[in-house]
Amino acid sequence: MIEAKGICKSFGDRKVLDGIDLDIGTGKIFGLLGPSGSGKTTLIKIVTGQLEFDKGSICILGKDVGALTGKDRKRIGIMMDEHGVYERLSCADNLKIFADIYGVPYSKVMPALEQVGLADSARKPAMKLSKGMRARLRLARVFMIEPEILFLDEPTSGLDPMTMRYIHKLILAQKERGCSVFLTTHNMEEAAALCDEVALLNEGRIIDRGAPSEICRKYNHKKRIVIHLKSGGDVELAHGKESALRIAELIEQGDVETIHSSEPTLETVFIELTGRKLDDSDEEVKYA
Amino acid sequence: MRNIGVIFKKQLKDTFKNKTVLIQFLMFPVMTLIMDNLVSIPILDMPENFFVKLFSVMYIGMAPLMSVGSIIAEEKEKNTLRVLTMANVKPWEYLLGVGLYVWTLCMIGAGVMATGLPKEQIPFFMGIMAVGFLISIAAGACVGVFAQNQMAATSIVMPVMLVLSFAPMLSMFNDKIEKVSRVFFTQQLRVLMDTMTFDGIKSETLAVVGINAVIAILLFFVAFKRKGLE
């Protein structure tokens, strides 16, 4: 569905993307993880043909990105973080504009609003929607066209946990439909919950990639088990045969409150690899 | 072509909820109707259809310029224009859709204003209005493309609008202003409205209107080349 090789992009002297390779198959959710300013939005803009790149090649829907026709583009849904809605128009009218552009019948407008839980607000002007509802309206706009590829740039950025989980369900429903999803996020929980494959992007380079669980296992150097005792103390044991007896003993004695293994999260892997946090809010720079 | 129709339809829906733009289209036709039909003001030596002609020129100089500039700037500011271009709406389709929409609404307004004129003068009047709106729309598009947001668009439009709209009116009372305002198409169109016949069209009038149109279109292309619809 999406193949990119050696994508490079510079803004002036600053290299923003350096040799990015992508290979995203049909019906997969691919997550691009990186802190703000790491080049995620730039990459999504390049892959969707909104921004020129300096070097490399991108093949999308079996065609070079530059050779995509209007008809091809109608098979792609793009929701960028910065995209707006028509404030004075109702939710239904917002969708009808794009139904007209994409040649989608109006009969799909209400189901799209129902899908994102906005059916009751169909006649409400977009300006009266909350931030989470607006995000869902923007999602309805792309879901309505039933794209084969969906690009989502930080779809849950700044949303409350409930709305976030709701949006996760919607994205997974798109995957079940057979849609390939390219998702950018700096939320590692989101990536772990949704993605079949993630790539960790830092300073324009992909520093590692794979299934979230694989990555976490790969960087599980400590391999320790921590047992929190009812008495309040912690016992840390090696993750091996030698600890089995001790664990069994503690359980038999009824001393165990909780048992934790020490696999790293995507966040800790990222910190280990780069020394930076994924939600590094000090760098709010977006290059394009 | 379908996208032009979509933009037209979108604007139509939006305008009824956008009082700032709606008032631009309604203000002068309504004022003309009031002044020309309802209010009887006895003014010595007042030319025939004085208010229709006066407000028509002001309508040309204000409504299209302000509305086109504001519509484009707002779409840029709110990032809805980007959504449209990513949905494969070409910049020329968008601009043509907005231009056509504003021109149509202004022409309807001009039609309302023309109700006070003798029937034989209406085609000439509508022709003048059509040309004037086109030049004004090009100037408005230039502002909309150049400005980053609505506030910037209003700041740019306001002085241009005041000069184009008020210079022809003030020139009726002051010779010096009349001499200066001759270089503006609105003044030339006002002069044409005094005669209301095709026979009275002077080459100077055609030249000034033509040059104004070329300048507006050239400025638009310069702005578009530099800024695009970003």
Predicted confidence (pLDDT) at residue A125 exceeds the cutoff of 80: yes
Question: CB-based contacts of B155: which residues, under 8 Å, 6+ apart?
Answer: B147
Query: Which chain A residue is nearest to residue B19, measuring alpha carbons?
Result: A88
**ipTM surpasses cut 0.90:** no
Q: What is the pLDDT of residues B68-112, one digit of tens each?
A: 999 999 999 998 998 898 888 888 999 999 999 999 999 999 999
Reduced 3-state DSSP string for B37-94:
HHCCCCCCCCCCCHHHHHHHHHHHHHHHHHHHHHHHHHHHHCCHHHHHHHCCCCHHHH
For residue A287, what pLDDT is reported? 38
What's the CA gap between A134 and A150, in Å, rounded? Answer: 18
Predicted confidence (pLDDT) at residue A283 exceeds the cutoff of 70: no
Interface membership of B71 toward A (CB under 8 Å): no
Across the interface, whether the CB atoms of A80 and B82 are under 8 A apart is answered: yes
For residue A101, what pLDDT is reported? 92
Predicted confidence (pLDDT) at residue A27 exceeds the cutoff of 60: yes
Q: What is the pLDDT of residues A48-98, one digit of tens each?
A: 888 889 999 999 988 898 888 888 888 899 998 778 899 999 999 999 999
| Structural contact between residues A53 and A7, judged by C-beta atoms closer than 8 angstroms | yes
Q: What is the pLDDT of residues B206-217, one digit of tens each?
A: 999 999 999 999
Interface membership of A98 toward B (CB under 8 Å): yes
Question: What is the 8-class DSSP label of residue A113?
Answer: H
Question: What is the 8-class DSSP label of residue A204?
Answer: T
For residue A187, what pLDDT is reported? 83
Domain residue extents for chain B: 2-227
For residue B159, what pLDDT is reported? 92
Predicted confidence (pLDDT) at residue A163 exceeds the cutoff of 50: yes
For residue A278, what pLDDT is reported? 61
Average pLDDT of chain B, as a whole number: 88
Q: What is the pLDDT of residues A225-273, one digit of tens each?
A: 888 888 888 888 887 777 888 888 888 888 888 888 777 778 888 888 8
Q: What is the pLDDT of residues A175-205, one digit of tens each?
A: 998 999 999 988 888 888 899 999 988 888 8
Predicted confidence (pLDDT) at residue A215 exceeds the cutoff of 60: yes
Please report which confidence band the pLDDT of residue B39 belongs to, taking 50, 70 and 90 as the band edges.
Answer: low
| Structural contact between residues B103 and B131, judged by C-beta atoms closer than 8 angstroms | no
Question: Can you tell me the mean pLDDT for B109-131?
Answer: 91
CA distances for B196 relative to A27, A190, B48, B122, B125, angstroms: 68, 70, 11, 9, 7
**Burial readout B13-23 (b: 16 or more C-beta within 10 A, e: otherwise):** bbbebbeebee
Reduced 3-state DSSP string for chain B:
CHHHHHHHHHHHHHHCCCHHHHHHHHHHHHHHHHHHHHCCCCCCCCCCCHHHHHHHHHHHHHHHHHHHHHHHHHHHHCCHHHHHHHCCCCHHHHHHHHHHHHHHHHHHHHHHHHHHCCHHHHHHHHHHHHHHHHHHHHHHHHHHHHCCCHHHHHHHHHHHHHHHHHHHHHCCCCHHHHHHHCCCHHHHHHHHHHHCCHHHCCHHHHHHHHHHHHHHHHHHHHHHHHHCCC
Across the interface, whether the CB atoms of B78 and A48 are under 8 A apart is answered: no
Question: Can you tell me the mean pLDDT for A9-27?
Answer: 89
- Tell me the torsion sign for CA atoms B78, B58, B195, B42: positive
Question: Can you tell me the mean pLDDT for B35-41?
Answer: 69
For residue A279, what pLDDT is reported? 62
What's the CA gap between B193 and A100, in Å, rounded? Answer: 41
Task: Tell me which residue in A78, A87, A89 faces B86 most closely, judged by beta carbons.
Answer: A78
Predicted confidence (pLDDT) at residue B188 exceeds the cutoff of 70: yes
Domain A2-75+147-217+266-274 falls under CATH 3.40.50.300: yes
Residues 20-49 of A with CB under 8 A from B: 48
- Mutate which of B7, B10, B71, B150 to disrupt the A interface (most A C-beta within 10 Å)? B10
Question: CB-based contacts of A113: which residues, under 8 Å, 6+ apart?
Answer: A91, A92, A95, A119, A121, A122, A140
